[in-house]
Structure 1
Amino acid sequence: MKTNNFLLEIYNEFFYCITWPKWEDLQSTTMIVFFFSIFLSIFLYGVDGFFIFVIKKLFSL
């Protein structure tokens, strides 16, 4: 009986207590995360290239 009650509480919590975002909000936040991820990856690629350049110059002396 406890398992049945537990599953019923999960169902009620999932469908009646959680507020889900609207589709437009979900799309806008997804786009923000997408563009920020692209920007961050390009930035880190540049920083990595800079450090590789500096290390090669230091050790080629």
Structure 2
Amino acid sequence: MAKVTNYISEAFTELKTNVTWPEWAEIQRLTIIVAVFSIIFAMITFGIDKGFEVLVAKIYGFLKN
């Protein structure tokens, strides 16, 4: 149990002293970029999915007749 406690203590010490944290403005900017690209990617995926849905429906409609 002492090893686990020591590991956690050292991890927190390293996070406080050795990690360079970004400024708040940079965090906000990068968060907005990630959100915008996530929405764009979701819209592209939705469009491709709808396109395949229409394509498959037309193929089944053609084969059914």
Q: What TM-score, normalized by structure 2, do the two folds share?
A: 0.79
How many angstroms does 1:50 deviate by?
0.4
Aligned to 2:60: 59
Write out aligned runs for 1:43-54 (5 A). 43-54=44-55
Question: Any gaps of 5 or more consecutive residues in structure 2?
Answer: none
**Between 6-15 and 19-28, the greater mean CA deviation after superposition:** 6-15
Q: Which residue of 2 aligns with 1:17?
A: 18
Count how many residue pairs are aligned between Structure 1 and Structure 2: 61
Q: Choose 1-10 or 33-42, whichever is displaced more.
A: 1-10
Q: Which runs of 4+ in 1 moved over 4 A?
A: 1-5
Q: Which amino acid aligns with 2:45?
A: L
The alignment's TM-score, normalised by the length of structure 1, stands at 0.83
Unaligned runs of 5+ in 1: none
Larger mean CA deviation between 39-48 and 8-17 belongs to: 8-17
1:37 and 2:38 aligned = yes
Separation of aligned partners in 2, 1:38 and 1:4: 41
Aligned-pair RMSD on alpha carbons?
1.7
Q: 1:53/1:12 Cα in 2 relative to 1: closer, same or farther (>3 Å)?
A: same
